[in-house]
């Protein structure tokens, strides 16, 4: 489980880094740059499914792409922490 947590952390970190670098690189550009954010949402499944509910409850979230990307990053970070805690908990269960 620790191997999965490490692998998931690397994938999440890479997707997050790519999304943020692309966001700041193309912020004032005419080009579309949705792929990194879509990849980040796929990597952060199932927590990114909460985004639909949050947008229904708080429609002003759609006003800022920076806030949306920050929210997806925060949800993914919580998910990474959950995976690490689960890995630690399952390792303790095998010891006893």
Average pLDDT of adjacent 10-residue blocks, the chain of 96 residues: 92 95 88 85 85 84 84 92 91 67
Location of structure tokens 């805690």: 85
CB 18 within 8 A of CB 42: no
Q: Cα–Cα distances in Å, from 15 out to 11, 63, 79?
A: 6, 23, 14
pTM for this predicted structure: 0.82
Q: What is the pLDDT of residue 11?
A: 95
């Amino acid at each position: 489980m620790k191997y999965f947590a490490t692998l998931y952390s690397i994938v999440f970190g890479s997707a997050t880094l790519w999304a943020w670098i692309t966001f700041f690189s193309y912020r004032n550009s005419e080009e579309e740059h949705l792929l990194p954010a879509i990849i980040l949402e796929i990597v952060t499944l199932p927590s990114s499914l909460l985004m639909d509910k949050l947008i229904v409850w708080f429609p002003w979230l759609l006003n800022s792409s920076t806030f949306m990307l920050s929210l997806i990053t925060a949800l993914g970070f919580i998910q990474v922490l959950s995976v690490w805690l689960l890995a630690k908990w399952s390792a303790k269960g095998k010891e006893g």
